[in-house]
Each structure stands twice: as structure tokens, then as C-alpha cells.
Structure 1
């Protein structure tokens, strides 16, 4: 039977459902700049569960402890993600993922704008740089006439510890300096990295990896499977504070709560036991958060007790990849040099990689134009039309979504019910002119988005997730998505009606009345394209009298404030870490370190 999930109906049902149980933390890695493309319901001890639910419904809250009055209940979402991880029937698993996306979209806290294309500039005499669908760029095997590569990928990186990084630029730096069990080759295919061979059990639950012989850290000390075991346990340990710790939930845990992984006594083999077969497990083995890191250096670093990433906040840290970081002038430049102890050093011709750390799009373009840079991952908006037809311009496909998002606990929604808050967010979303953003700011022929999970992503069962089929139909007539992304008069009228239902008053000119104003902030990092998108949204919402203040922060400050929920509305982006929809869904679990919208908190 064909199903049709109606987003607003689902949102309403969330208010009146009794939800059992509580949920149990990227470049997301999706933070590529746009130009590169508590109240509780109380009851007496004699109150029944049903009566508790009724009290909660009348208050517009849940009966499951403290929560923001207007924030959606989130226990059911957490439970659904846990079920997806355990489901082995691929059709049922896909259905559960559609249900999860329906629930996410019904909150209207996640507002997709467009699906990413990755665009960059590269000099014609530079070869060997490649990228995968997830935005990870491999610079270590590049060739240049001078064996030196000068490039730009972002401003000052937020974290260099692979386990603590959650940005695309940080992932690219991790790939240059570290190695994983697996990596992606120039064709985007998984290939062994530190691993010589591996075996998977017949039931798909146990993987045994045999490490290459003679592996070393950059300081010449031995790198073994014991380093992998330590690093994976560290990633999962809450004390580490890794945003991507939730990725380890596919692995069984022991009675003591640690991961069910083990290195052999001689450090030659590494064994992992999974809770259920996981089609993307080897992708995780190639993901930077799972890269081995050097225990001795980590735990001997000054400030380690307060900051698990203190060991790599300056140049000279021990690593294992093609290059090592030998120089770091913060907010200005970084220098990486060839690692002679890299197991495949004979395949690395580069002697040095020099990074320009900047968010000044004009300065970056000028440096590329005059030859100071050979690769630029940022293209100034004003220059896109100039460079698009040159041989130095590259556009490649990626799996990801550029979006903006609302903090569900923002004071913007104070005094509103769950449904009213969702109506407010939907209304504001309907006012955004996405086509203008793509045509005049992003300018790389991006596809306008009306779902969070992007075009081209697998459904985990041999097909594409973002398609209507006999089992599922997206709730927009004759379209694949949750709403019509075009800005029309009907959209504006619907937005006004939704805001009126949430208690807002309009004057005879269709503008918000001074008695019910909407004043909000839009938080973004300070790169030109992202700021211009914020300003475009500011103008769109001003059309009905919504007052938006665009606040900019330098990159690392922006990431921290966004993670902590210090915003009303903010710019977001997510490039998938692997080709499965759960990657776009599990980031919204209550305890996920990537749950910027603060669901369940």
C-alpha cells in the first residue's frame, strides 16, 4: 500500500503522543563555505500515565521531565534511530528512515536551501588532488613542478585532533597528517590504508583486520593495532567529548561499557564486534574520527586533563600520514612537510604543503590569481562568473545539504505551544527565496532543496532514497520533497496565515503589527558567501516585517556558539560522512555532538 506522510499532521500528533523512554553526542563535516559551494507537566502520585499525558498535551509539553515548552518531544526520534541501527530487513530499515526524516522535517527547525556542489580553483600544472562524495580532499599525493603545494581550504581550523574534529576543512587536514584502517582512492572507492587484509564473519558481525608490517608514527615509534584499539575506545569515551562519538554505537559494548574491540597481544590484528550487520562499516574505518592517534603524546600533553585535544594545538604533533605539521602561525598559515616514516612515502612526491588560513574571499582570490596559491577551495561570489569558464575552475558532485536551522529552545518561541513554534518556523522558511540564493550567491548551479537528505543518496537497499516509490510518497504533490521551494505569493499568504495561527497580528499592509513583533538573530561565520546568504534571508523575512540581525563570527567561535545553542537561527551545512541516510538522521539524536538545533535538550 502506498503511504503518504503529511508533515503537519505528524507534527500535531507529536504533541498528543505518549512517548516512552529517553534517548541515550560535521566538513559536520559539512561546514564547507557556501561559495565552494523548561517547563514540566506536574501531577500527583495518584495520576495515571494517561492523565499525565493529558496534562502534558494541554500544556504543549511532554510528561517526561524538563523540556523547553515549545520544543518538540524527541524521545520517539531517538528510539527510531536506535531501531534503524538494529534493523536487518532493508525495506523496513528504509521505511524507518523515511519516518525519521518525516519527524525531523515536521519540526521545521531544519530548513534546507540547496544541495551542495563542490567548486574550487586549481592551477593547471597541479595534478593528483582528488576528492570523494563527502567533500574530503586528498592532497598528499599531488604533484607540482616544484614539489611544493600552496593552497587554501579555510581559515584557522577549529580542531586538529581527528576524534574531536567535526568540519570538512579539519577532515582534509586529518587526511593529510593521519592514516586510517581504510581510505578512499582517486576513484572514490574504499581501499586498505594501514590494513593489509581483513575478514568479515559470515553473519557480518565480526571484522578482523591484519595491520601492515613495519608501520610507524612520524617520530619513528611503532604503530600497531593497540593504537587503533586505544583510539576507538577514546572516541567512544564521553570524557573525550567527541561530537562523533555516536558513530561508535554500531559496535557492541562490553559489560563495563567500553567498545567490544580488541587488539591481539602482538599488535598485529584488530577485531571488532558489531551489534548488527552494518553496510557502511568500512566507510567508518576510513572516516577521520576513527583514525588511530598516539596515546603517549596525547596523555603527556600539558593541559590534557582539561583539554583532550591539547596535544595537537601547535605544530610538531606526532601523526602517521603522508605529511607532518611543522609550522603553524595561528590565523595566518600552516606548513606541512613530507613524513619520511609514512608507510607509502615512496608514493609522495610533495616535499611541502603551505596553507593560507583566511576567510577573506577577495584576498584568497587575488592570491590565486597572482600565483601565490595553486589551489583555492573558496571562490569569491563576485568572481564566480569570471572563473566558471576557465580551465582552473572545477565543479564536482558531493552528497550534502546547505541549510539553516532554528534553535528549538530559543526565546523566539517562548510562550508558544509545540505546534505554534513549528508553524512559526515553517512560515519563516516559506519566505526564503532559494532560487535567488543559488543564482546570485552560490552560483554553481546547485539544486534547490526541499528535503534534508540530498539527491543521489543511497537508500541502503540498491536504490536512491530521495525518490517516490510504491512504499513511500513525499508529501508534496507531484514533487519529491516536503514543500514547494519556489517563492510565490501563495507562499507568503501561507506564511502569514501560519503566523496568525501562532498569535501574530498583521496590519492592513500585510506587515507584522508592532504589538506582535518578531526580532531574531541569524548567526553565520564571516566568509563572504555565507554572510551574503544571511543578508538575503534578512531581506526576505523583512518583506512581512520580521526583523533579522545577521551576526558574524570567525570560524572557530562560530562553531562553538552554534554547538552550544547560542543563537535563534543559524547557517548550517552537512556533507555526508558516508553514503547512507542514517548519517543525515543520527546527527539529530538528543546526545549527538552535532545536534546544533538542540533537539531533546
Structure 2
């Protein structure tokens, strides 16, 4: 009986230990451990709208062109391109030997099919407008054709894109996550996605838990990474704790932890001026916010400087307009002054009668703390506010459905140009998931911005972008808050990592791990 009991005990122990082993993540030897704060909604490039998915897509797929660390356009899948003198025809030749991770060669037909799919109404891409400058776009959207007449294969390794009009930012559009190159006629199905020709391959995706990318052996790199493991951790302080204990190699540091991590000699911190703008979006369809005096009252009641100094620990600068520092369309002066007396006066003039304003926010501790300060300040002038925190998908759904009066959000550049802030956030054709959640609609603004998009003279284009930026700022569909600086913390084992200003362009090609 004792022998039987001993056998059962040993069997259960082995079963238990094997179970524990099975539940541990299996990782390649040189795996960089980092983090995402939200699960990507999709890894279908055409359907991507978040930076979380864009980071991953930039590693899995290639584009015709990409950006270097200075924001300059560089070749990616293309080995060269040329633009006709009239600015309408773009001809691309693909890199020799470029292959998808399953070994198939990348062909011109793959690029053409990917761009057609992005534009096709059946795809329902929130970023279909990226193909709007291409000849035949409207006919395709109207169901008159099935493909873009302006995109065609020249031979196996070259293609041509013809625009319907000159369009200054077009090459930058081709570096965005949505214009990534997929094998012809293959699409994502949930967690199963088509192979890409980027430096990494999707090996595992457990919703709300992890994403594991392993090296694409078709791509040569100077770094020694075999994989990148993205753990999905929403709480920023849990992220810091995991980093300090060795569970992560690379994190973005919450403002409250920057000073502590800078002082810790075990780690390095790296700063970067990312192209971003943080704001309070206002529902321009809400009867409560129709009067600009009401919107001005809210703007003058926000203690932007105090929040930036105390909550964000000075990691940024106050926003002067909708376009961040360093990009075309940046305004050197402007922004709402914090003035409670002026705010009260504007509120009185607006006829506000005490209705509650719903403040929608992505459920993150820093966001909640920040919105609590904003709520307190607005209540000081007599405005009732209710904060509504939601997970990312619920938050996005609220914005799309206009189920809010105010929302707190940011916009991060998909490409380094003022157009990428003005068009998605303010143009009347960019409503909803395209970026204009506030439903701002000003024909004068649209006209000026459209003129800037066709202007090839850089000085004149800059003037037009600034004119559009002033109109967008002063109409106040958003209360512009600040441009935020990012700080990354890097473990001692990580070598040759450099933060990138464009979230989808850091390929980790040179990064190595020197100890495990």
C-alpha cells in the first residue's frame, strides 16, 4: 500500500511540474522582452488604427519605403523609385532577392494587390483614404471598377502608381502600416496572418497576454536578437516593477518613475522627442458644445502648465497648435491661457445651464489621474463632469458613436509631416475611425489644407499648413494640451538600441543582447 501511495505521489508531482513547465512561455535564447500596454485589435494592416498594432506591423511587414531615425524617407522593399516631372507618376523597382518569410519572392503584383485591397470598399479600411490621391480611387469606391486604374504592374519586380493630382505627402503614405506589402490575395484571419517580408515573423499571439515575434531568417541583420517578446501589461507601475526585477529589457517609463530609473545605475534611460500632440477632444455635434464660448471656457479652465509640471514631471512642452515641434505647420505661439476668471466669464456668456459633461478616457492610471485634475478644475468654474474610463476597444467605440462630450487622447505621427495631424484629425472627410472623432467640419479649413497637399513649393506649402493649423486651433474642436517627450529605460544586457521617432519604423536590426 505504501509503494502504491508513493507511486501516486511521484506521478502527481511529475504531472504538476510538467503542467507548470507547460504554462511557462517558451522563448528562443536571445529574446528581447518588452511590452505593449494594450492588445492590438488587429494585425491586418488595412484595418490597423492604433500604435500598438502599428509597432508590430512595422516588424512583420515591409513597405515600399520607410523612415530613418531622423524621419527621412529611405528605401525598404523598393531599391529605387523615380517621380515624373509633373509629380503624377511614381515608378518603383523592388529589392532583388526580397522574400516573404515563407520563402516566396516579393513581386510587384503583391504590392499592387495590397494597395487595391486597402482602397476597396469591401475591405472597410478606416485608412482607405491613403489611396485617395491615386487615379481611379473614386471609381473603385463607387463600385464602378474593382481595382485602382492608377496602380499597375510593369513587370515582376517593378510597378507604377499614377496620381489624379499632385500630392506632396504621397511617398510618406507608402511608409504607413496600412500600406504594408502582403502576398497577393492573402488576408488576416484573427490571430493567423499572412507572411510578411519584414525582419520578424508572428509566432504566437495570445489575446491580452503576449505577442511573440521570431526572426525572419530571410532578412540579414547586424544584431543578434532571435525574437522579441511583447508582454501585454496595462498598468504602468506593474511594467516598471517587472523591468526592475528583470522580466523586461525595454520599457517606456511613466513620468513618476523617470527620476528613480535615471538614478538607478543598473539601467540606461534614453529620451526622444516623439511627434505627438495630446488634447481634449470636444464633440462638435453635442448641443452643449455648439457655442465656441463654451469651448473657450473649458480651454481657459485647464491648468495645462501645472499638469505638465506636476503630473508629467515636465516631460514635454505646452502645445501651441495642432502640429508638434519640428514639423511643417508648427505654430511657434498660441494655446489657451489658464485663467479661471476668464473661463467663468465665457461660461456665463455661453448660457451653460449646469448640464453634465461626460469625459471619456482610456482606462490607464495616469490618464485617470490627469482627468481627475481636469474635472476638479472644470468644476471650479461650475461645470459638472463625469469621468468614464473604458478599455481601448470600449473607448474607441464611444468615440465612434459620439457617446461623449469630451475625450482625452493623443495623436502620434504616422509620418513626419504636419499633414498627418491636420488631415486625419480635422478634415471633414476623416470622420470617426479615420481620426476626426470630434466631427469638426469647416469648409474653409478643408480648402486651405487641400491646397497645401497639391503645393510643390516647400515655402508656400509651409504657409498653407500654418494657415490651416491656425484655423483648426482657433475653432477649438480640441483643447490642445502638450507635446510629450518619451523616456525609455533599457536593461544593461541590451546593446545598440536607439529610440525611433516613428513608432512603426524601428526594426531592431542592430539591437543585440550581450547576456541572458
Give the TM-score normalised by the residue count of structure 2.
0.73
Please state how far the C-alpha of 1:380 moved relative to its aligned partner: 3.5
Correspondence list, 1:229-248, <5 A: 229-248=112-131
1:283 aligned onto 2:176: no
SS, match of residue 195 in structure 2: coil
Correspondence list, 1:398-547, <5 A: 398-410=274-286, 412-413=288-289, 418=290, 420=291, 422-459=292-329, 465-467=330-332, 480-484=333-337, 487=338, 491-504=339-352, 516-547=353-384
- Which residue matches 1:387? 261
Query: Does the 8 Å contact 1:200/1:208 carry over to 2?
Result: yes
- CA spacing shift, 1:189–1:502, aligned 2, 3 Å: closer
SS, match of residue 132 in structure 2: helix
- Which residue matches 1:590? 428
Query: Does the 8 Å contact 2:183/2:194 carry over to 1?
Result: no
Distance 1:589 1:187 in 2: 27
- Which residue matches 1:170? 53
1:331 aligned onto 2:208: yes
1:270 aligned onto 2:163: no
Please state how far the C-alpha of 1:553 moved relative to its aligned partner: 1.2
1:224 aligned onto 2:224: no
Distance 2:349 2:422 in 1: 29
- Which residue matches 1:261? 150
Query: Does the 8 Å contact 1:322/1:348 carry over to 2?
Result: no
- CA spacing shift, 1:389–1:446, aligned 2, 3 Å: farther
- Which residue matches 1:373? 248
Please state how far the C-alpha of 1:226 moved relative to its aligned partner: 1.1
Which digits, 9 at most, give the CA deviation of each residue in 1:490-548, with x for residues without a partner? x22222222222223xxxxxxxxxxx213111111112211111111111111123221
1:565 aligned onto 2:402: yes
Please state how far the C-alpha of 1:346 moved relative to its aligned partner: 4.7
- Which residue matches 1:308? none
- CA spacing shift, 1:254–1:179, aligned 2, 3 Å: closer
Please state how far the C-alpha of 1:590 moved relative to its aligned partner: 2.6
- Which residue matches 2:467? none
Distance 1:382 1:256 in 2: 52
Distance 1:442 1:356 in 2: 24
SS, match of residue 381 in structure 2: coil
Distance 1:389 1:444 in 2: 17
Distance 1:493 1:187 in 2: 43
- Which residue matches 1:360? 235
Distance 2:97 2:367 in 1: 46
* Structure 2 residue corresponding to 1:550, chosen from 387, 406, 416: 387
1:204 aligned onto 2:45: no
Distance 1:589 1:186 in 2: 29
Please state how far the C-alpha of 1:600 moved relative to its aligned partner: 4.5
- Does 213-222 or 580-589 show the bigger shift? 213-222
- CA spacing shift, 1:318–1:254, aligned 2, 3 Å: closer
Distance 1:214 1:598 in 2: 46
Query: Does the 8 Å contact 2:89/2:162 carry over to 1?
Result: yes
Q: Which 4+ residue blocks in structure 1 deviate beyond 6 angstroms?
A: none
Query: Does the 8 Å contact 1:333/1:355 carry over to 2?
Result: yes
Distance 1:260 1:375 in 2: 45
Distance 1:190 1:348 in 2: 22
Distance 1:326 1:426 in 2: 50
* Structure 2 residue corresponding to 1:397, chosen from 236, 258, 273: 273
Distance 1:568 1:483 in 2: 19
Please state how far the C-alpha of 1:482 moved relative to its aligned partner: 4.7
- CA spacing shift, 1:531–1:254, aligned 2, 3 Å: closer
Query: Does the 8 Å contact 2:32/2:249 carry over to 1?
Result: yes
Aligned pairs, number: 403
**Please, which runs of 5 or more residues in structure 2 have no aligned partner?**
1-27, 141-146, 443-516
Distance 2:41 2:166 in 1: 34
Higher RCO, Cα 8 Å, sep 6+: 1
Query: Does the 8 Å contact 1:456/1:466 carry over to 2?
Result: no
Please state how far the C-alpha of 1:347 moved relative to its aligned partner: 4.4
Which digits, 9 at most, give the CA deviation of each residue in 1:382-440, with x for residues without a partner? 32331245552221112221111111123534xxxx4x2x2111101110111121112
Give the TM-score normalised by the residue count of structure 1.
0.63
1:161 aligned onto 2:44: yes
